[in-house]
Amino acid sequence: MNTTRRTLLTAAACAALASPLAAWAQAGLKVEGAWARPTVQGQAAGGGFLKITGGAAGDRLVSGRTTVSSAVELHTMSMDGDVMRMRQVPGIDVPAGGTVELKPGGLHLMFMGLKQPLKAGETFPLTLRFEKAGEVKVDVKVSAQAPAGAAAGHGGHKH
């Protein structure tokens, strides 16, 4: 941790002590509706989706880890002419007080190197790491379609 970062964190801690509102803002990051598509035997990767609501300070999702795959990558998907392309991104910004949806056809998590197929109806643990909020643990529900209230998106996303 460099000095600038430490100073910022100290400043945030002081603000939190001075005002209950600031303390709430610092802890205001929320992750909801995590789900993943079922996969078949032999499928190496699976997509994961969720919704992140930022606290007052804004934050950045930088990595994740889970028990079901050897790595978790952050991906974006976009149209290149008629072809949908995915690429890895180093982080996903969460705007202050705003919402980022990781959903089919857009930003998503990629579970790389699946150790076993993801079965509909099961859940598995996922730990997300944010620059400011640190680690946030969520349960990911395996479902063929977005569970009610989760980030649904449009279009197919096949690997």
Site of interaction with Cu ion (CB under 5 A): 75, 86, 110
In the numeric block, which tokens belong to residue 123?
A: 């859940």
User: Would residue 36 be called left, alpha or beta, if left means φ above 0 and alpha means ψ between -120 and 50 degrees?
Assistant: beta
Report the alpha-carbon distance of residue 104 to residue 33 in Å, rounded.
Answer: 13
Q: Shortest Cβ distance from residue 53 to Cu ion (Å)?
A: 23
Contact predicate 100/94, CB 8 Å: yes
Of 28 and 105, which has the nearer Cβ to Cu ion? 105
Q: 64 has which bridge partners?
A: 72, 128
Q: Shortest Cβ distance from residue 78 to Cu ion (Å)?
A: 12
Of 26 and 37, which has the nearer Cβ to Cu ion? 37
Of 137 and 158, which has the nearer Cβ to Cu ion? 158
Contact predicate 33/147, CB 8 Å: yes
Q: Shortest Cβ distance from residue 48 to Cu ion (Å)?
A: 9
Report the alpha-carbon distance of residue 58 to residue 42 in Å, rounded.
Answer: 38
Of 8 and 71, which has the nearer Cβ to Cu ion? 71
Report the alpha-carbon distance of residue 109 to residue 102 in Å, rounded.
Answer: 7
- Sequence-distant (6+) residues with CB within 8 A of 81 are none
Select the residue whose beta carbon is closest to Cu ion and give its number.
75
Q: Shortest Cβ distance from residue 110 to Cu ion (Å)?
A: 4
Q: Shortest Cβ distance from residue 108 to Cu ion (Å)?
A: 6
Of 110 and 114, which has the nearer Cβ to Cu ion? 110
